[in-house]
């Protein structure tokens, strides 16, 4: 099991430093954002498991020849409170330290994810309440439209702000999600451009990009000193915007989308953790 622990340690290092740096500069991201997104998810999952698994496997190595046997032996000794057997098994202080490190890392990652989820959920709820209180539905402001997402456009909420804004607020269900537009943006967009920017925001919601950004944000908050968490969070924010653009361009022209996004304030888009970081993503 010591060789397995060494392999996991090497894998954790590769997934933490060199591979994320190479992937962050890869040119295929713009051509295949879905493939890049899947790679980043695989790196995050495999890297986290390797980071926890390396000290865990090393710490359990004196207790058995396999992970299953080692865990069963540790549980047996804990139930019997037989700590004298540790000397017979040649358990060193480094093994105990490695086990404690693995438990602490795993607990830290899970608690950070839970804390981020609870904070973001509360932030979204407060933000949606404020939007519903201070905004009005777009409804028939621009009259009937033949755009493919006409219903989504009509259900958008308008806030009285001169700055051109467009962003979405995810809810527990798609029906409770809100797309927000500012009066300043409405005054500058045609019906086709308005439909394009709403389609961009709706793609964020339909593809559940807020769950991805929240997971990678929690990963970064748990281990901010790891290059992979920083590169991963930045890459996922960029890739979700690419995917939202691709979704919007399935039904709208590229020119309409580019103009609508160019007129939108770049700091506001998929709002899922505004309470923590503030707006930070391009529309």
**Could you tell me the pLDDT band of residue 137, with boundaries at 50, 70 and 90?**
confident
Residue 120 pLDDT > 50: yes
270 strand-pairing partners:
168
Residue 237 pLDDT > 90: yes
Measured distance CA(182)–CA(157) in Å, rounded: 8
Please give the average per-residue pLDDT across 260-268, as a whole number.
67
Residue 143 pLDDT > 60: no
Least confident of 21-30, 107-116, 200-209, 260-269: 260-269
What is the CB neighbour count within 10 angstroms for residue 75?
Answer: 11
More confident residue, 156 or 85: 156
Measured distance CA(204)–CA(240) in Å, rounded: 7
- What is the 3-state secondary structure of the chain? CHHHHHHHHHHHHHHHCHHHHHHHCCCHHHHCHHHHHHHHHHHHHHHHHHHHHHHHHHHHHHHCCCHHHHHHHHHHHHHHCCCCHHHHCCCCHHHHHHHHHHHHHHHHHHHHHHHHHHHHHHHHHHHHHHHHHHEEECCCCCCCCCCCCHHHHHCCEEECCCCCCEEEECCCCHHHCEEEEEHHHHCCCCHHHHHHHHHHHHHHHHCCHHHHHHHHHHHHHHCCCCHHHHHHHHHHHHHHHHHHHHHHCCCCCHHHHHHHHHHCCCCCCECCCCCCCCCCCCC
Residue 71 pLDDT > 90: no
Prediction pTM value: 0.81
**Could you tell me the pLDDT band of residue 220, with boundaries at 50, 70 and 90?**
very high
Please identify which residue in the block is written with the tokens 């269900």: 173
Please give the average per-residue pLDDT across 69-90, as a whole number.
76
Report the chain's C-alpha Rg in angstroms: 24
For residue 178, report the phi and psi dihedrals to the nearest 5 degrees.
-130, 135
More confident residue, 31 or 175: 31
Cα 171 to chain centroid, rounded: 16
Lateral strand order in the sheet of 135-137 = 135-137, 157-159, 178-182, 166-169
The two structure tokens encoding residue 76? 């047996």
Whole-number pLDDT of residue 152: 65
Residue 13 pLDDT > 80: yes
Residue 82 pLDDT > 80: no
Whole-number pLDDT of residue 266: 52
Q: Which residues are within 8 A (CB) of 65 and not within 5 positions of it... i.e. 6 or more apart?
A: 1
Please give the average per-residue pLDDT across 101-124, as a whole number.
94
**% of residues, the chain, pLDDT over 70:** 87
Going from the C-alpha of 210 to that of each of 106, 227, 261, the distances in angstroms are 23, 22, 19
Taken in order 222, 211, 117, 134, is the CA torsion positive or negative? positive
Please give the average per-residue pLDDT across 147-173, as a whole number.
79
What is the CB neighbour count within 10 angstroms for residue 67?
Answer: 16
For residue 181, report the phi and psi dihedrals to the nearest 5 degrees.
-125, 150
Least confident of 63-72, 89-98, 272-281: 272-281
Whole-number pLDDT of residue 106: 95
């Amino acid at each position: 099991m010591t060789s397995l622990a060494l392999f996991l340690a090497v894998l954790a290092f590769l997934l933490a430093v060199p591979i994320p740096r190479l992937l962050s500069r890869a040119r295929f991201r713009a051509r295949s954002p879905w493939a890049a997104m899947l790679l980043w998810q695989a790196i995050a999952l495999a890297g986290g498991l390797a980071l926890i698994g390396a000290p865990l496997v090393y710490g359990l190595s004196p207790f058995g020849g396999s992970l299953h046997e080692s865990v069963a032996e540790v549980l047996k000794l804990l139930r019997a409170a037989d700590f004298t057997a540790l000397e017979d098994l040649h358990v060193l202080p480094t093994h105990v330290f490695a086990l404690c490190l693995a438990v602490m890392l795993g607990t830290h990652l899970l608690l950070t994810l839970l804390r981020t989820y609870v904070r973001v959920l509360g932030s979204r709820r407060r933000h949606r309440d404020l939007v519903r209180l201070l905004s009005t539905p777009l409804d028939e402001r621009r009259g009937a439209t033949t755009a493919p997402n006409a219903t989504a456009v009509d259900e958008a909420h308008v806030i009285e702000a001169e700055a051109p804004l467009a962003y979405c607020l995810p809810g527990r269900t798609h029906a409770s999600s809100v797309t927000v537009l500012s009066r300043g943006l409405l005054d500058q967009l045609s019906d086709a451009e308005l439909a394009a920017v709403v389609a961009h925001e709706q793609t964020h919601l339909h593809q559940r990009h807020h769950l991805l950004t929240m997971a990678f944000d929690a990963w970064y908050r748990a281990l901010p000193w790891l290059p992979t968490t920083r590169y991963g969070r930045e890459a996922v924010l960029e890739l979700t915007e690419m995917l939202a653009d691709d979704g919007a361009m399935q039904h709208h022209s590229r020119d309409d989308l580019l103009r609508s996004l160019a007129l939108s304030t770049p700091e506001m888009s998929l709002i899922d953790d505004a309470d923590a970081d503030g707006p930070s993503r391009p529309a």
